Chains A and B, each alone.
Chain A
Amino acid sequence: AQKITQTQPGMFVQEKEAVTLDCTYDTSDQSYGLFWYKQPSSGEMIFLIYQGSYDEQNATEGRYSLNFQKARKSANLVISASQLGDSAMYFCAMRDKLSGSARQLTFGSGTQLTVLP
């Protein structure tokens, strides 16, 4: 069974507007971590934000926030005030005890975000 699902292959957003990228996950563990990475055309994966399963508050990092709904097993990324430089592929990822190690992430298929001027 797929562990990370990103249902939006592509998204468009107007510059300066907010956008939400969806991510649902599946795990039987109580302890797990959720990540969002950004991949521009250069190929490098850039860490954006992290949410631990026991964190009571939604994670925030600057313009990025994670809308964590544990019961629904969703971890949506919200980007506020979109900028042209936000155009990239965005990946949701998870690691849990079944991952094998703390460095083994399971990635979703990604969402290609395009910010329009």
Chain B
Amino acid sequence: KAGVTQTPRYLIKTRGQQVTLSCSPISGHRSVSWYQQTPGQGLQFLFEYFSETQRNKGNFPGRFSGRQFSNSRSEMNVSTLELGDSALYLCASSPMGVAGGLNTGELFFGEGSRLTVL
């Protein structure tokens, strides 16, 4: 069974540009969530999608957005990039539905997209 696939793995952008990252979840998984990992802030929750709808969003500015397609693949977009957006962006998929309980299941992470903003 293929794991979570994230593309691109590495990318370099300059301030003010925008970037789109892609995530293909494990086949059959309908929930996709995104995390940002930086040395200073650690791992922080960005947002979660299920059935093409954003279900939950972390404390990030509106420059960070995402979407999910009917095949459960997800993209996240960061507009007007800032130096502080340099990070590893991790996508995680889960088989759990919206009604999934708190005490069930783990998240399956991809290897991440490492973004450098110059």
Which residues of chain A have a CB within 8 Å of any CB of chain B? 31-33, 35, 37, 42-47, 50, 52-54, 91, 93, 95-97, 99-110
Contact = CB atoms under 8 A, between A and B. Distances in A.
B48 A104 contact: yes
Counting chain B CB atoms within 10 Å of each CB, the highest count among A33, A46, A53, A103 belongs to A103
Nearest to A31: B102
Contacts of B31: 103
B96 interface: yes
A13 to B, nearest CB: 23
Contacts of B92: 45, 103
Given A33-B102, A53-B103, A101-B48, A45 B109 contact: yes
Contacts of A103: 31, 33, 48, 55-56, 92, 94, 96, 107
Contacts of B64: none
Interface of B: 31, 33, 42-43, 45, 48, 55-56, 58, 88, 90, 92, 94, 96, 100-112, 114
Contacts of B88: 43
Given A43-B111, A44-B112, A109-B42, A102 B101 contact: yes
18 contacts: A31-B102, A33-B102, A43-B88, A43-B90, A44-B111, A45-B109, A96-B102, A97-B102, A99-B102, A101-B55, A102-B94, A102-B104, A103-B33, A103-B55, A103-B94, A103-B96, A106-B45, A109-B42
Contacts of A97: 102
A31 to B, nearest CB: 6
Contacts of A93: 43
Contacts of B100: 102
B101 A91 contact: no
Given A46-B109, A102-B102, A107-B42, 18 more contacts: A32-B103, A35-B106, A37-B109, A43-B114, A44-B111, A45-B90, A47-B108, A54-B103, A99-B102, A102-B96, A102-B104, A102-B105, A103-B56, A103-B107, A104-B45, A104-B56, A105-B43, A107-B43
Contacts of A33: 102-104
A-B pairs with lowest CB-CB distance, top 4: A45-B109, A107-B43, A52-B103, A47-B106
B102 A104 contact: no
